[in-house]
Amino acid sequence: MLTDIEIAEKADMKDIRVIAEKIGCSEDDLELYGKHMAKFSDDFMKKVEDNPSGKLILVTAINPTPAGEGKTTVTIGLGDALRKLGKNSIVALREPSLGPCFGIKGGAAGGGYAQVVPMEKLNLHFTGDFHAITSANNLLCACLDNHLMQGNLLRIDPKRIVIKRCLDMNDRALRNITIGQGKRLDGVVREDHFIITVASEVMAILCLASDLDDLKARLGKIIVAYNYDNKPIFASDLNCVGAMTVLLKDAIRPNIIQTLENNPAIVHGGPFANIAHGCNSVRATKTALKVADYVVTEAGFGADLGAEKFLDIKCRMAGLRPDMAVLVATVRALKYNGGVAKDELNNENIDALSKGICNLGKHIENLQKYGLPVVVTLNKFVSDTDAEIDYIRQYCAERGVELTVSEVWAKGGEGGIPLAKAVLETLETKKSEYHPLYSAELPIKEKIKTIATEIYGAADVSYSAEADRAIKKIEEMGYTDTPVCMAKTQYSLSDDPKKLGRPEGFTVEIREVYMSAGAGFVVAIAGSIMTMPGLPKKPAAEVIDIDENGNTVGLF
């Protein structure tokens, strides 16, 4: 059996100019990055902005096993399947982060015969967007520390600096560091911190900005520190926002590549959903809606994370109205939620399935709270048995939701045709009544409690003293009418990764709260979630290599 990268390397890729023609995009509308990758020109995005909008289909998932459950694979396969049925469809995805590529989860180009290519370039450096975001973020940090060194006219309190440096790599040793050591000219000694690039506010801003002017305005609103009078200091106060924008002027334009079946795919932006807002860029989604009749997009991790943020943050801010949701489940993840050990997930176990399937039920309920029609699809693994699939089908039927079996990993678009037909029928027969879960005008704690109780199923919310103080300060500064971006584990509906299935009666513990003023939301960190992940005991980096012919091996 071929690995994902072996399948990708054998792909018959077409020139990206040929792929772009399928959505009415000429060579003059592209900035080429080799033969198989390109960025849209600003002129093209303006040219299509008055086109009618297509249907927006959100692909999300139940709580996954540590290896993930193939949400991106299903997204790509569904897009290919719709094309096979003669529909003008396109997929809109996030860009992968290097962190999980070299960690435990792998890349984010799909899998099997439902991938976007060139897989290797996408998973590694791609068109340089993440490098630009990292550079812009760290330029801001460098200017701040230089300001401290050069006399600190803004009277910044070094102990109240909130902007953090970033790096697109899992590196726990950088979570808490000391900088400025050495001679006087080496800077002011202070404690500093790194987060992974996908958790940075600059990433969120890039993904939510409507254009270059909006990007620049949002960057200027980033709160970098507080002064000795407890007043916020903004990025604009450091006079480097123009330079940051220059670094991001190309990165803000969406990228186009192709699927294994030579269909167009827009891939842009990549905030994680467990520690950020988890959606591709607004510009990418809006461009996709103007060039296709059906846009298939994804939101990161489970529906309690990515979908909640897609629906409560991105759609609210961008004025998007999704038409339906596809909820991806696997037999493996349902048994995992039923208490089965990772090394026993390939064995038939109806008892564990019956215990874990409540996780699926909760996610169905949650999506329906937003007024969205829902179709459940089972991403099929070889080890799945007919008895297990029949059990899940009956469970869904009892809740008035159709279950389809997706075999896109093994069969590409052909394996997604049952799902595509179910999606088309749902769009024809059921109307979306999308609405956010909560009003942005509610007090911050009320918004947090609404998400915790309605989406996670919590009984209550508790706050650390630090989080309490932060909320009071945010409200004093006038940032009350903003959505909340909850950062928590992806492995559980709760904030405890060990609470599987559908936990009840628990209290969500909010340990940190801060304002992402440029992005336009409050971030609330629950439990022990880390904004700079670490590598596992045996990271994927140990098996990734290059052979004597210059081919990459071990990337997945």
Residue 67's pLDDT is what? 67
Taking 70 as the threshold, does the pLDDT of residue 16 lie above it? yes
Residue 293's pLDDT is what? 98
Q: What is the mean pLDDT of the chain?
A: 95
CA neighbor of 39 nearest in space, from 250, 338, 324: 250
Q: Which among 55, 83, 94, 332 is annotated as catalytic?
A: 94
Q: Which among 39, 55, 105, 253 is annotated as catalytic?
A: 105
CA neighbor of 357 nearest in space, from 342, 378, 332, 338: 338
- 71 catalytic per annotation: yes
Name the percent of the chain lying above pLDDT 90: 87
Say how far apart CA 152 and CA 209 lie, in whole Å: 31
Q: Which among 130, 301, 310, 521 is annotated as catalytic?
A: 301
| Model pLDDT for residues 189-219, shown as the tens digit of each residue | 999 999 999 999 999 999 999 999 999 999 9
- 552 catalytic per annotation: no
- 94 catalytic per annotation: yes
Q: Are strands 521-526 and 484-487 parallel, antiparallel or unpaired?
A: parallel
Q: Are strands 190-192 and 177-179 parallel, antiparallel or unpaired?
A: antiparallel
pTM of the full structure? 0.95
Q: Which among 17, 175, 381, 480 is annotated as catalytic?
A: 381
Q: How many CA atoms within 13 Å lie on the side-chain side of 115?
A: 28
| Model pLDDT for residues 218-228, shown as the tens digit of each residue | 999 999 999 99
Contacts for 182 with CB less than 8 Å, ≥ 6 apart: none
Say how far apart CA 315 and CA 244 lie, in whole Å: 26
Q: Which among 126, 194, 409, 506 is annotated as catalytic?
A: 409
Say how far apart CA 240 and CA 506 lie, in whole Å: 45
Residue 102, classed as helix, strand or coil, is coil
- 409 catalytic per annotation: yes
Whether 269 contacts 97, CB under 8 Å: no
- 194 catalytic per annotation: no
For every residue of 261-310, which 3-state class applies, written as one string? CCCEEEECCCCCCCCCCCECCHHHHHHHHHHCCEEEEEECCCHHHHHHHH
Return the ∠ at Cα 448 (arms to 445 and 449), rounded to 5°. Answer: 85
Residue 542's pLDDT is what? 86
| Model pLDDT for residues 56-79, shown as the tens digit of each residue | 999 999 998 876 778 999 999 999
Q: Which among 60, 73, 377, 426 is annotated as catalytic?
A: 73
Q: Which among 273, 333, 524, 540 is annotated as catalytic?
A: 273
Q: Which two tokens stand for residue 229?
A: 């009078």
- 430 catalytic per annotation: no
131 pLDDT band, cuts 50/70/90, is very high
Taking 80 as the threshold, does the pLDDT of residue 108 lie above it? no
